[in-house]
A = this chain, B = another copy of it.
Amino acid sequence: MPLFPDFSARQKALKGSVFEKYLPLMRQQGDNLVRLHIGDAYRQPPYPLPIEKTFREAHPLFNRYCNTFGIPTLRSALSEKLSTDNALDFNEEEILLTAGAANALVVCTLGLLDPGERVMILTPCWPFFPGMVRMAEGEGYETPFYQRLYDQPDLDIAAYLDHHLQPGTVALYLNTPNNPSGKVLSRTQLEQVAGWAAKHNLWVLSDEAYDGMTYDDHQHISIATLPGMRERTLSIFTFSKVYMFAGIRLGYIAAAEPAIRALNKILVHLLYGPSTIGQQMVVEAVQTRRSWYGDFVRECQGIRDDCLNRLDLNLQSPEGAYYLFFSTEPYLRGRGYDELIRTCLEGGVSVAPGVDFGSDFRHHMRVCFAGEPPERMALAMARLGKILKG
């Protein structure tokens, strides 16, 4: 059973890169080697592309396949970033580039789960994760968690998770800062989660898509920094949130090298490899992050406060991520929930239905406050307030 440190039977049945065993010999040859082993085109695309000339010249291989783990310059920049910003000590070989955090998560479920094995999913959770467990023939089950921590910050987490633990569980899905609730786990809370996961010898799938996106005095802590957690944690990051580049579909997994090597085999069978030009385009963004990183987050905090003020419903202020997530029950006033969602749409506001975040949240709604400019957000809050207050 793939408890830590084991991988799925599926993973073990896969062959890795065809050429892996010859890599040392290839490296020895360097530029002398004429590379006939990969099916690729030596010419750059002859049609118009909106790529700046200096970039094309600096990256003559932008159109070609790259190392299936990712390009060295980006892996190196990310290694520095993880060390400096997250106190995570992972070298280049311990980073795997993926087509977004979504892709990273399914690489992990496929790499870890054998049919019927269970994953504890702390909820509310990102709507597509349960399906990713099913993609691997696994069984996810929900444990309501993040909302509860707002109400009960000193919850005995180990006892609570023990109470919910089902037999056959091999992994825990953790997501802090949490989408949709905005909960950011404190060090004390994370220590309890970590100790509990280690006690049960679980893998921890740490979804850190909202890394860096925290407000007030809240700070994101990576669970892999806690004692004993480095080896059993797969830490997942993305370029879609603070980097504001969901359209590039890039993310990455940081983990101990045996896990990265195992997960690469899965990735190769899902994608062959990540986008070369996509990776090349964001290297500078990682390197220069200190010069631009904070502005958007500070702005989001302002928008958050403005939205809460305008709505004036006494909602919980999210500690991180960029969503308001709340129960609509006080505002239904005899309306059905689906009717409310449709009323919002007819009133010019689209919101995400709560049930997709967990079965406990059938009457919640999620509102993203970073996807439209502030003036449009003000309009949306006016519309939404009117609909909710009836």
Contacts and interface: CB of A to CB of B under 8 A. Distances in A.
A383 B376 CA distance: 65
A40 interface: yes
A132 B15 CA distance: 11
Contact of A269 (B38, B135, B273, B351): B135
Interface string A29-67: 100111111111111111111111011000001111110
B372 A49 contact: no
Contacts of A62: 247
A367 interface: yes
Interface string A133-155: 01101000000000000000000
Instruction: Count identical subunits in the complex.
Output: 2
A26 interface: yes
A377 interface: yes
B278 A63 contact: no
A164 interface: no
Interface string A362-383: 0000111111110011011001
Contacts of A40: 240, 246, 368, 370-371
Given A36-B367, A41-B246, 16 more contacts: A15-B127, A18-B356, A29-B346, A29-B350, A36-B352, A36-B372, A38-B352, A39-B323, A42-B373, A42-B376, A45-B285, A47-B288, A50-B52, A63-B245, A103-B272, A275-B278
The list of the 3 closest CB pairs from A to B, nearest first, reads A247-B276, A50-B55, A34-B380
